[in-house]
Chain A
Amino acid sequence: NAGVMQNPRHLVRRRGQEARLRCSPMKGHSHVYWYRQLPEEGLKFMVYLQKENIIDESGMPKERFSAEFPKEGPSILRIQQVVRGDSAAYFCASSPLDRGTDTQYFGPGTRLTVL
């Protein structure tokens, strides 16, 4: 049973470009969470999605960031017009339940570097 998969593992973008990060949850999991980790920091919640629905995006910047989890295919975190401050590791997690009473399983992360 494959774990949470993320790609790409490393992404380099120049300022102003777009970054698209993909996450495939574990088989049987229908809940996806995105977290961001800045250097020397813990993970910070960004957004929680179920299939075709954004449940909570309170941790996501209002501008330039968007997330989706379509009926078919992976969840996508999209960052438009990237800036240097967007450089971070972005982790996706999935769980079978939405009430936090079950473990969230994390992917290996995508390390975004903005030049």
Chain B
Amino acid sequence: SQQGEEDPQALSIQEGENATMNCSYKTSINNLQWYRQNSGRGLVHLILIRSNEREKHSGRLRVTLDTSKKSSSLLITASRAADTASYFCATDARSGGSNYKLTFGKGTLLTVNP
């Protein structure tokens, strides 16, 4: 799998349900970030979790990071129709001196049905 690969590719749920998206990566990282992209729009930064953190919360978002498994999950609780968007994880590389270079996966397309 490529660095920063999300699954599932697409997720459809009802309003009020929780949505969980996963991200796997291959190399050691400093940070992992989650972004949201509404159709045809730019990226909105959601949350950054550092490699020495295991869990982080922001409003209805909960992110976990397991560096031993090189994976992260994004949980959106009590979803709303406005949460409909593509969600991307982005990782930076710890080694090689290029840790500014974010690597994105193809994203998870979340559809929240009213």
- List residues of chain A with CB under 8 Å of any chain B CB: 31, 33, 35, 40-45, 48, 55-56, 58-59, 91, 93, 95, 98-101, 103-109, 111
Contacts and interface: CB of A to CB of B under 8 A. Distances in A.
A104 to B, nearest CB: 6
Contact of A106 (B4, B45, B100, B105): B45
Contacts of B43: 43, 91, 106
B25 interface: no
A104 B46 CA distance: 11
B100 A107 contact: no
Contacts of A31: 100
B101 A48 contact: yes
25 contacts: A33-B102, A40-B106, A41-B106, A42-B104, A42-B106, A43-B88, A43-B102, A43-B104, A44-B104, A45-B102, A48-B101, A56-B101, A58-B98, A99-B30, A99-B99, A99-B100, A100-B101, A100-B102, A101-B50, A104-B45, A105-B45, A106-B35, A106-B45, A108-B41, A109-B41
A98 B50 CA distance: 16
